[in-house]
């Protein structure tokens, strides 16, 4: 059971500088938002918005990176999990761990071989409220190499996920799919339309040099969302190669894909004339899009052009609306993160093609489902919200960092061939930090009254310095901790120094087996560690980390996730410790 430790206040004068302290190397600039993770390689992004957060899922390149000993090229063969990140402000990102697809799909049939499990690449995710049960359901689809598409299901965006089938959902024998030896049944793109109907696109490779390679498919999903309803039909996508995604914008179906590199001007001019379109010929490896009012009618799809620039190597993106704004989520090929690691000597010089997820603003005209060309930039996105320091914040939430590692302290798996970043995606995460490790959390809003106390949930022995404004700036708080279990270490802080909006650097200056889980400030005038209540809470329910509903103070104690629903029907979540009754 956790306990709170109220320590003697450690207040440092404003003139005290941390410039003498060592900050471990960062692999992306503190001024840049991209990539979203400064320590985890991931690719092929997909996303969903849920309860005020944007959840981004991707292929776990980092698993291959570690399995290869941080050297050599990415061959994708060791990737058997999917990563999850989320954000509320587009600047600070929370790492939720990984979905262990190998374990979840271990019971899949092995005969015929192509219906069994092998790897997990290029996820696509969606959610809906089940009309019969009234419960929210989350569906995650992934490609099993080029052989087909698998599906997982959960009751929350971070799981726990389960496999509702005992084999691939789409494979060589599926109606309308590609037979073995032809194109690939991979790279799924899924969406639920305005009528609650699910759709899935898939296909790619084998471009055969033609402007219309006939290697893209779309199918309607049955109400279960785990089975095709009827037969898949073709999408006549010019220069189609891979990376399928679906959206519904302004009542229209929008299909996005990566184009191949084969080109012939005569073919393109003839295609334009036949279709009566004005779109320019897309460049190789660009993200193109088509629009339809009737997705099962191949002739209804209209090519609109390229909206996403090419990147070095293969391309894969997702278009996502979040809090009223559109974003282009894509991956690069290590040009920032991998190069930064190489310059710091953190990886072997031979390491290559380990990708990183990035995000930039997108401009969409919803009335016509028109996408403007996006600009890829390292700066990323502006913050659209601030961080509330008076709510419990996870240590694994930050804009960038230096030196730290992730671990799931409930059930760490040491076998890197199974999973290298943790277990099923969970909020039950902690961060291992050594001397010199640090994180940066941007846009922390202390308001006008300021903070009077600070709480760090940690175990092991260490010392944490907090500075505001810049790396190496003067300290605003110092907390020392020493405990064998996760405990709350609370200190007083100088209220005059923590007002307004600040960027906070959390630096570990000394550590022995130090693991950090969460932090929280107390607003001046409040008693104890407070969590800001959302106005007009009309419903409150607590869940354990498996998603099972429990009483607020259930017998098991430990960490619970509390869900509150306000008068507007919005759901809000916080993780906290319950106590044994």
Enter the pTM of the model.
0.88
Q: What is the pLDDT of residue 124?
A: 98
Mention every residue, 6+ apart, whose C-beta is less than 8 A from residue 67.
78, 416, 417, 420
Cα(140)–Cα(161) distance, integer angstroms: 9
Q: What is the pLDDT of residue 549?
A: 59
Q: What is the pLDDT of residue 416?
A: 35
Q: Is the dihedral of CA 273, 279, 283, 284 positive or negative?
A: negative
Q: What is the pLDDT of residue 76?
A: 94
Q: What is the pLDDT of residue 321?
A: 98
- For residue 356, what is the enclosing H or E element? strand 356-362
Q: What is the pLDDT of residue 367?
A: 96
Four-CA torsion 430, 124, 91, 486, nearest 10 degrees: -10
Cα(210)–Cα(75) distance, integer angstroms: 27
Q: What is the pLDDT of residue 209?
A: 84
Q: What is the pLDDT of residue 110?
A: 87
**Residue among 220, 264, 270 at smallest CA distance from 246:** 220
- For residue 272, what is the enclosing H or E element? helix 265-275
What the block records as the tokens of 371 is 């996408």
- The DSSP 8-state label assigned to residue 496 in this structure reads G
Would you put residue 87 in left (φ > 0), alpha (ψ -120 to 50) or beta?
Answer: beta
E strand residue ranges, 469-530: 475-492, 501-523
- The DSSP 8-state label assigned to residue 568 in this structure reads T
In the block, which residue shows the tokens 């004339």? 273
Provide the pairing of β-strand 189-192 with 198-202.
antiparallel
Phi then psi dihedrals of residue 394, to 5 deg: -80, 140
Q: What is the pLDDT of residue 474?
A: 87
Average pLDDT for runs of 10 along the chain of length 581 = 34 37 90 95 97 96 91 93 96 92 93 95 97 95 96 92 96 97 96 97 92 97 98 98 97 97 87 94 96 98 97 93 98 89 91 95 97 97 97 94 70 38 55 93 97 96 95 92 94 94 97 93 73 53 55 50 59 49 34
Cα(549)–Cα(303) distance, integer angstroms: 47
């Amino acid at each position: 059971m956790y306990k709170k430790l109220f320590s003697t206040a450690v207040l440092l004068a404003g003139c005290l500088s941390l410039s003498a302290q060592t900050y471990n190397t960062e692999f992306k600039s503190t001024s840049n938002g991209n990539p979203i993770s400064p320590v985890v390689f991931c690719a092929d992004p997909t996303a969903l918005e849920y309860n005020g957060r944007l959840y981004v899922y991707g292929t776990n390149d980092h698993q291959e990176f570690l399995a290869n000993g941080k050297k050599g090229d990415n061959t994708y063969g060791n990737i058997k999990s999917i990563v999850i990140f989320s954000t509320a402000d587009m600047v600070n990102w929370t790492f939720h761990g990984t979905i262990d697809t190998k374990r979840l799909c271990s019971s899949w049939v092995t005969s015929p071989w192509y219906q069994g499990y092998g790897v997990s690449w290029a996820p696509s995710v969606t959610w809906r409220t089940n009309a019969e049960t009234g419960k929210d359901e989350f569906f995650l689809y992934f490609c099993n190499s080029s052989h087909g598409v698998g599906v997982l299901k959960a009751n929350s965006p971070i799981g726990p996920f389960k496999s509702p089938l005992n084999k691939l959902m789409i494979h060589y024998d599926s109606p309308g799919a590609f037979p073995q030896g032809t194109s690939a049944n991979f790279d799924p793109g899924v969406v639920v339309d305005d009528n609650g109907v699910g759709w899935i696109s898939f296909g790619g490779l084998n471009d055969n040099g033609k402007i219309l390679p006939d290697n893209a498919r779309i199918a309607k999903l049955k109400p279960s969302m785990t089975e095709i309803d009827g037969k898949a039909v073709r999408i006549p996508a010019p220069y189609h190669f891979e990376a399928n995604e679906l959206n519904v914008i302004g009542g229209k179906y929008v299909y996005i894909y990566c184009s191949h590199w084969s080109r012939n001007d005569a073919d393109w001019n003839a295609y334009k004339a036949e279709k009566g379109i004005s779109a320019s010929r897309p460049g190789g490896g660009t993200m193109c899009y088509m629009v339809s009012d009737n997705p099962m009618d191949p002739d209804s799809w209209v090519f609109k052009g390229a909206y996403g620039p090419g990147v070095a190597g293969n391309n894969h993106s997702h278009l996502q609306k979040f809090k009223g704004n559109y974003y282009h989520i894509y991956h690069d090929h290590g040009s920032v993160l991998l190069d930064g690691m190489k310059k710091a000597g953190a990886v072997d010089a031979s390491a290559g093609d380990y990708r990183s997820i990035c995000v930039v603003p997108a401009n969409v005209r919803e009335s016509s489902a028109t996408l403007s060309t996006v600009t890829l930039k390292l700066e990323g996105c502006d913050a659209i919200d601030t961080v509330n320091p008076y709510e419990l914040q996870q240590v694994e939430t930050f804009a960038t960092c230096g030196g730290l590692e992730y671990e799931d302290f409930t059930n760490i798996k040491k076998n890197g061939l199974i999973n290298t970043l943790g277990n099923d995606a969970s909020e039950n995460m902690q961060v291992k930090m050594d001397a010199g490790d640090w994180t940066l959390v941007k846009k922390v809003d202390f308001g006008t009254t300021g903070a009077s106390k600070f709480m760090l949930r940690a175990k092991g022995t260490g010392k944490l310095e907090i500075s505001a404004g810049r790396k190496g700036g003067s300290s605003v708080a110092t907390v020392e901790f020493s405990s064998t279990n996760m405990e709350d270490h609370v200190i007083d802080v100088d209220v005059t120094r923590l007002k307004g909006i600040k960027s906070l650097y959390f630096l570990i200056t000394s550590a022995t087996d130090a693991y950090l889980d969460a932090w929280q400030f107390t607003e001046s005038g409040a008693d104890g560690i407070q969590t800001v209540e959302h106005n007009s809470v009309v419903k409150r329910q607590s869940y354990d980390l498996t998603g099972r509903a429990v009483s607020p103070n259930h017998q098991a104690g430990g960490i619970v996730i509390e869900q509150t629903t306000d008068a507007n029907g919005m759901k809000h979540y916080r993780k906290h410790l319950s106590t044994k009754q």
